[in-house]
Structure 1
Amino acid sequence: MIDTPEMPRVLSPRDEARVRFALQAERLGAEAFDLLPVDPSAARGERLRRALDMKRLADILVQRAVVAEREEGATWTQLADVAGISKQAAHERWAGDVTTWATTGRSVFSPDSENSALKTARRLDEVYADQNPEHPADAVSSGLDAVRFPGAIAAEAARRERAAGLHARLAPLNDQLGTAYAEWTLLNDGGARPKARAAVLTRLAALNEEVAALHEELTGAEPELADEHRSSAERARSSVASNREYAELLAAKAETEGMTK
């Protein structure tokens, strides 16, 4: 497997998530192997500290497993069954990890990184093969869609480009929402006049409406993560309703105050 025009540096989100999981598994394995030596002069508690570090790495592996499973189409019900918890508990525990993965580009490495999922998969092939002579020489890379179905690369790239464009439009809206909510808090805590607070709430409603619409579009651009986008759209729409309702109450109060002056 080599980097060529037919094999882009950034793979499909599904492949990227698979490589990201494998990379964490390698790190966990290396850290575990380093625990084998016995050092009788180690400070008391050192073994426990390192074991707890391992647990944190294992927790990250679980999070990356969930992301990879979601990219492959696993439902929250299926993941909950495996974890032995409710669907709601599974969603509450890991939905944030899936959302973060989506908003940061669904790639192992940043766009300006010299590394790539392809190079990493090739290196992990060697790491795995070196562990046992019976291990295949391409255990990681051979499972990637880019290798198994090279004809789908163009379609994957087009879908990724569409999703990236929607996320690019979403990012400044979220920044504006954060600014508007901070302004609302200051005005509300400072006892500002109803008219000023109503204006901020009206602006928040308009921003949340745009956010909801973009998340609806993302359900088509990122169908594997449609549940997350629908939940985000529903939260934004709920905020629209509450923002507008409260804005109307404040506007009415401002009008009443104006009539009494």
Structure 2
Amino acid sequence: MSEESNTLSPRDESRLDLAACARTLSERSARLVAVEIDPEPGTLIMQAREIQAMAQELLSAAVVAERERYTSPEQVVEAAGNAHWEQTVLAWARDGRRNRAGLPGLMLARSLDEWVAKHNPDVLDAVTCGLDATRFPGSAAFAAYERERVAALYAALEEAEEAREEVWKELNALSEKEDSVDHPTNLRVVAALRRLTQLYTDLSVADPPLAVEYRSRATWNSTAADRFEEHGPMGG
């Protein structure tokens, strides 16, 4: 991997995010192994619930990592036993498809290598050796190019989401007397939803790994736009 590879491919970044979550969960769980003398009532349950929540975060990271390696949503649902993962994947996309440890990919990979080696001295480069950036030299540069290629679309999507939130506030402030398909606020709502429909459609083509989620959002926004266009703010 190049020293300049601060951000790796979304696939590598998602795998690093999963690995970092697994490390955190392991370290936190280990603290519960020691037997504390007379802890406050409920302490053990609270600690276990904290670990349970962290395990859920680990599962979410695993779902994202699977989607980044083109595991289908249907396969994800079958393996995870839960159909509600679309928002998890979209949140990952909104965060830039970068590991959430806040570290450059190469730095995080090395710290994880060191953590594994501390527990398994015979295992070297356990994390870095499995990354595309290591296995396929030059892939990090290509990933950077791919990120740059769709950066404008993601920036436009962020602006469009913010615009929809603003017009949604206006919509919620309307009274029943203002229930008209031609009301300026309703027209702005429809325009905002149409804009999001187009951007999610464009992203489904430009950024294939998460195309299913993007097409789903495009359909949702298109359907909502049709509803407001036909029935107005109250009927929507």
| TM-score (normalised: structure 1) | 0.84
Are 1:217 and 2:217 counterparts?
no
Amino acid at match of 1:14: R
What are the superposed Cα offsets for residues 214-254 of structure 1, whole Å, 9 maximum, x if unpaired? Answer: 1111112221110110001001111221121124999xxxx
Partner of 1:148: 135
Are 1:124 and 2:124 counterparts?
no
Partner of 2:178: 192
Residues of 2 paired with 1:224 and 1:194: CA distance? Answer: 40
Q: How does 1:77-88 map to 2 (within 5 A)?
A: 77-83=74-80, 85=81
Amino acid at match of 1:192: E
Q: Which has the larger radius of gyration?
A: 1
Partner of 2:229: 244
Match of 1:226 among 202, 211, 221: 211
Do the aligned partners of 2:179 and 2:232 also contact (CA within 8 Å) in 1?
A: no
Residues of 1 paired with 2:215 and 2:179: CA distance? Answer: 35
Shift of 1:164: 2.3
Instruction: Number of aligned residue pairs: give it.
Output: 235
Do the aligned partners of 1:109 and 1:117 also contact (CA within 8 Å) in 2?
A: no
Partner of 1:159: 146
Residues of 2 paired with 1:124 and 1:97: CA distance? Answer: 24
* Structure 1 unaligned regions, length at least 5: 251-261
Residues of 2 paired with 1:49 and 1:2: CA distance? Answer: 43
What are the superposed Cα offsets for residues 127-151 of structure 1, whole Å, 9 maximum, x if unpaired? Answer: 10111233x2101011111111122
Moved more, 115-124 or 147-156: 147-156
* Structure 2 unaligned regions, length at least 5: none
Are 1:44 and 2:41 counterparts?
yes
Are 1:25 and 2:22 counterparts?
yes
Q: Cα RMSD (Å) of the superposition?
A: 2.2
Amino acid at match of 1:221: A
Partner of 1:258: none
| TM-score (normalised: structure 2) | 0.92
What are the superposed Cα offsets for residues 159-189 of structure 1, whole Å, 9 maximum, x if unpaired? Answer: 1112322110011211111111211121135
Paired residue secondary structure (1:47)? helix
Shift of 1:54: 0.7
Partner of 1:173: 160
